[in-house]
Structure 1
Amino acid sequence: MAPVTDLHVASPTDRPDPAAREAAVVARTPAPRTRRTLAADLRVLGVRPGDVLLVHTALSTLGWVAGREQAAILALQDAVGPTGTLVVPTQTGSNSDPSEWQAPAVPADWWDTIRGQLPGFDPARTPSDGMGWLPETLRSWPGAVRSTHPQTSFAALGPAAASLLARHDLDCRFGDRSPLAALAGAGARVLLLGAGYDACTAFHLGEARSAGAPRERLACAVLGADGERRWVDYVDVVADERDFATLGAAWEATGAVTAGPVGSAHARLFDLDAAARFAATWIPVHRAGWS
């Protein structure tokens, strides 16, 4: 995951040409990827019926997929079956204090206007920000549920969706009062589908639980129970994924990760709770200024 204060929408001139991007994906795909082939690859990797999967994706790494993100979600559903549940991050990092924005920064004389006018987070209406097409498509899928955190929400689809996302306290983005703790308790597994360890929110659960975790003040726009928009601030453990690639390499070296191809993507599958526990012990030792 990128730092929550750094996710902002690029201008149209900054976006790569969609046709050129798709042509590049076609050129590096030996055969079309489909719902059926992706589901088969997921089963070979070790995804089982009934699994609860926290999925982090880089969709383009799958290769050219007939049906794009819709086919990928259907393949994931096929792999976990009707008793399984899929969970994805649907974060809204641009719902944050403009004084912290860096990519891009905005003029200081805009800050008060933004704080006063930024729409309050609405789980049903607020789109995810910088998460990619698959999480955003799953978020809007019939029957999907979304947690209520205004910056670090998750969406889920399946029979356990509502119970897993029921609690997501404002001052607990990734800790024991967030869906990550519920996922850990439910025996969920993490599927990195072409995504790197920098996207692994399970490590943020370990981060939140680690000794000496520093805290920071954050702010965002919310909708109160009365429907009124408010600008609120809160204090939570610092979320910093800059060393997650190194942490992930150490985690993978333990032998706890199953890796293999899904389409053209390099996929990794592992236990969420075990990864969080590993992170909770690794971070205080290896991260400067943490303990």
Structure 2
Amino acid sequence: MYKTIPDTLINLGHPNKPVCLHTSLRSFGWVEGGAETIINSFLDLDCTILVPTFSYDFYAAPPENQRLVRNGCGDYSSFINNSDTKIFTTDTNLIDEDMGVIPETILNMKGRIRGNHPINSFTAIGPLAEELISEQHPTNVYGPLKKLVELNGSAILMGVGLESLTLLHLAEEMAGRELFRRWAKDSNGSTIMVEVGGCSEGFHKFNQILSDITKDVKVGKSSWRILEVEPLLDVAQQAIKENPQITHCDDPDCGRCNDAVEGGPIQL
């Protein structure tokens, strides 16, 4: 397994490039050395790895004067009783379990750099890590992905579907939608408003649209889908402009999808 990943990256021209990974370790079957073997296969080729390391434990209750309309929150009843006072710092290794083993492993590695976003942080490791991550802050949640475009990066889905592809949320923003707002504590303990994405359960609808710019490869037991970031965003944002419903999940009552299709929150 360790040899097949470098061979794949070399054949696809990916050495030295930044890559955003969305991963399922289980998709590989048994791998000697586990997640670290897969991660080091990229790092040994001077790739920089970018992964989402979201942490919803840092949610705070929304101030009454910041409860925006069309914000994917309904009447805010699920948020107003949140009295959690956890304070996020970029040094913390707290991450939601559903992010997966590979992002969690990277978050615990020496030299990793975590973005300054209490809920939807990205973490990078490798030569371009600081350059990628420095763009992220609470009101620029997808800064690392925007920098990934500038650096001619790519995205790799390793055993997961388009529902995991955070870049499609950036495509929503580029298509003119306002991102949803949530709340967390800053380093001083004050409640701040932060940008977040919405529902991604409908992103499978982009499968056909993105097929022409997708490279499908098999690495061991894991099925990979590789997409260059810039053309991906160009195609996806145009598709959203032409058919806003394309991002909607299969639940007609999904508040986040309904509000996103309408354009997202209305600013105060």
**TM-score if structure 2 supplies the norm length?**
0.79
Separation (CA, whole Å) in 2 of partners of 1:155 and 1:238: 17
Report the equivalent of 1:88.
Answer: 51
User: Would the aligned equivalents of 1:92 and 1:151 in 2 still touch at CA under 8 Å?
Assistant: yes
Report the equivalent of 2:198.
Answer: 239
Separation (CA, whole Å) in 1 of partners of 2:135 and 2:93: 19
**Is 1:151 aligned with 2:119?**
yes
Separation (CA, whole Å) in 1 of partners of 2:122 and 2:204: 22
Match of 2:238 among 281, 284, 290: 281
**Is 1:259 aligned with 2:216?**
yes
Report the equivalent of 1:170.
Answer: 138
User: Would the aligned equivalents of 1:208 and 1:237 in 2 still touch at CA under 8 Å?
Assistant: no
Q: Which amino acid aligns with 1:76?
A: F
Q: CA deviation at 1:134?
A: 0.4
Separation (CA, whole Å) in 1 of partners of 2:134 and 2:116: 8
Does the C-alpha gap of structure 1 residues 220 and 249 become closer, same or farther in structure 2, counting only changes over 3 Å?
Answer: farther
Q: Which amino acid aligns with 1:182?
A: K
Separation (CA, whole Å) in 2 of partners of 1:89 and 1:109: 24
Q: Structure 1: any 5+ residue segments left out of the alignment?
A: 1-33, 100-107
User: Would the aligned equivalents of 1:283 and 1:290 in 2 still touch at CA under 8 Å?
Assistant: no
Map 1:63-82 to 2 at 5 A. 63-78=29-44, 81-82=45-46
Q: CA deviation at 1:237?
A: 7.1
Separation (CA, whole Å) in 2 of partners of 1:215 and 1:277: 18
- Partner secondary structure for residue 35 of structure 1: coil
Q: CA deviation at 1:183?
A: 0.6
Q: Which amino acid aligns with 2:184?
A: C
User: Would the aligned equivalents of 2:60 and 2:191 in 1 still touch at CA under 8 Å?
Assistant: no
Report the equivalent of 2:254.
Answer: none
Q: CA deviation at 1:186?
A: 0.7
> Cα deviations across residues 188-229 of structure 1 (Å, max 9, x unaligned)?
011111121111111111111113x14533112332xxxx32
Number of aligned pairs? 234
Map 1:28-67 to 2 at 5 A. 34-44=1-11, 46-67=12-33
Report the equivalent of 2:66.
Answer: none
**Is 1:193 aligned with 2:176?**
no
Separation (CA, whole Å) in 2 of partners of 1:215 and 1:256: 26
Report the equivalent of 2:72.
Answer: none
Separation (CA, whole Å) in 1 of partners of 2:56 and 2:196: 16
Q: Which amino acid aligns with 2:24?
A: A
- Partner secondary structure for residue 270 of structure 1: strand
Identity %: 22
Separation (CA, whole Å) in 1 of partners of 2:201 and 2:60: 21
Q: CA deviation at 1:284?
A: 2.5
The alignment's C-alpha RMSD in Å is 2.5
User: Would the aligned equivalents of 1:119 and 1:222 in 2 still touch at CA under 8 Å?
Assistant: no
User: Would the aligned equivalents of 2:57 and 2:86 in 1 still touch at CA under 8 Å?
Assistant: no
Q: CA deviation at 1:111?
A: 5.5
Q: Structure 2: any 5+ residue segments left out of the alignment?
A: 63-76, 246-260, 264-268
> Cα deviations across residues 1-52 of structure 1 (Å, max 9, x unaligned)?
xxxxxxxxxxxxxxxxxxxxxxxxxxxxxxxxx32233334444x1522111
Report the equivalent of 1:14.
Answer: none
Q: CA deviation at 1:74?
A: 1.2
Match of 1:135 among 93, 100, 103: 103
Does the C-alpha gap of structure 1 residues 217 and 41 become closer, same or farther in structure 2, counting only changes over 3 Å?
Answer: closer
- Partner secondary structure for residue 50 of structure 1: coil
